Structure 1
Amino acid sequence: MNNTPDEWPSSLTDEELDELDRYLRAHAEEGRLLLDGVHGLLSAIAVGPLEVLPDEWLSEVLHDAFADEGEGNRVLELLAKLNDSIRVELDVDAYEPILGEVDTDTGPVLSAAGWCEGFSRGIDLRAGLWEKRLADDPQLMELLGPIMALAVDEGILSAEAEFEKLTDEEYNECLAQVAPVLNAVDQYWREHPPTEAELAALARPATAEGGTAPSPPRQRSGHWVH
């Protein structure tokens, strides 16, 4: 990134976050991402192995026609600012996940469910690379451990083995690890970028005539699973 500190885009203000949150909630239907989910989606893209262009990820966020051009330009502006801010926050160790809240008998508590849902969808956009590297390199699986634990606990990812629910203390410890995990994963892909063989396999639509195409990554309802 060649920007000087004075040119870095700032994080959204509380008012801008509220504005984007209101738009997403006004168009919320089953399976659609809210603000925490969009933040998780863009976070996965930011630390991922390959660039994901807005034309790809916007379809995960926007599903309805805008009421007018002004509304459309404003929503796109806020999404672009949110996307840019994640990269900057990671670079200066200022990243914090946007989390939802759930009501409990003792009051509202933070929930990573929406953020993890978005993160899993961000991984799905480059699922072939993620899945192969996770299968081939235990280091990456280990780095993602806290986020995967949260995602399994929230039912976003399925676990092959029986999984015991996290205690409140364990859940909060995993939440505290989200930013360090993202920085570690970001560094991992910088040091171990996709190989030519991985990229070639990703670009190959099918095997030679007479063969069978490779099996797609195992997913559940469109979500990356292990």
Structure 2
Amino acid sequence: MTTGNTKADWPSSLDDSELDELDNYLRTHAQDGHLLLDGVHGLLSAISVGPMQVLPEEWLPEVLHEPFDDENEGNRVLALLAKLNDSISAELDVDAYEPILGEVDTEAGPALSAAGWCEGFSRGIDLRAGLWEKRLADDPSLMEMLGPVMALAVDEGILSAEAEFEKLSEEEYDDCLTQLPAVLVAVNHYWFEHPATEAEIDAASHGDQTSKEQPGPPRQRSGHWVH
């Protein structure tokens, strides 16, 4: 008798060639401020573990910014994005989630960077900003869960800190990266156990509409991205 996950139970994630295909498309069509593959994965990860469903018509404008050159290309890219989106919740269910990270050039050579993933994650939170902000203000435990994500985002200049922030050491940075899968599992479980109330949803819907009418300053991205 065997134990553990069977092949049939394992999530259908994008293979390396599919990831490369989607990565190449996003890079080819990227302009300043657009999300690359790591950012798209962060965006979809935040949506997957968040308090409410976010429909594709809401998040696709964060990823695709121009018409497709042809219908076949469009269908292929949309299929890859749908598969990437579906794989995240499936991977979280079986503790197989791993963030897609970028690389940054350092004096010691290429190193993993969470800048793009954190940028995408923050944009995913922004799509339900009212709910996230109210619950984070009301429940310190949620903020504590998100600690490693917040530390990376502040370190990379994606989010600003109220107090003066000392840069993470390499060891601290790597430790935060290692914790990301567990953080997402915990946050996903948190919203399942403590779903958004009707009052929160109603208040957030007004707040989110106001934020769309009065956009804030763009976030920063840092790092020289290499494949």
| Residue in 2 that maps onto 1:221 | 218
Q: Distance in 2 between matches of 1:131 and 1:40?
A: 18
- Report matched runs for 1:1-226 at 5 Å: 6=8, 9-204=11-206, 220-221=217-218
Q: Distance in 2 between matches of 1:121 and 1:83?
A: 15
Q: Distance in 1 between matches of 2:190 and 2:207?
A: 27
Q: Report the secondary structure of 1:177's partner residue.
A: helix
Amino acid at match of 2:218: S
Q: Distance in 1 between matches of 2:201 and 2:214?
A: 16
Q: What is the TM-score of this pair, normalised by structure 2?
A: 0.88
Contact (CA 8 Å) 1:153, 1:166: kept in 2 or not?
Answer: yes
Q: How many Å apart are 1:144 and its aligned residue?
A: 0.2
Q: Report the secondary structure of 1:163's partner residue.
A: coil
Count of equivalent residues: 213
* Structure 2: 5+ residue stretches without partners: 1-5, 221-227
Q: Report the secondary structure of 1:109's partner residue.
A: strand
Q: Distance in 2 between matches of 1:217 and 1:157?
A: 19
Give percent identity, aligned residues only. Answer: 73
Give the structure, 1 or 2, with the largest relative contact order (CA under 8 Å, sep 6 or more): 2
Contact (CA 8 Å) 1:39, 1:97: kept in 2 or not?
Answer: yes
Amino acid at match of 2:75: N
Q: How many Å apart are 1:56 and its aligned residue?
A: 0.3
Q: What is the TM-score of this pair, normalised by structure 1?
A: 0.89
| Residue in 2 that maps onto 1:210 | none
* Structure 1: 5+ residue stretches without partners: 207-212
Q: Distance in 1 between matches of 2:136 and 2:190?
A: 12
| Residue in 1 that maps onto 2:3 | none
- Gap change, CA 1:192 and 1:217, over 3 Å in 2: farther
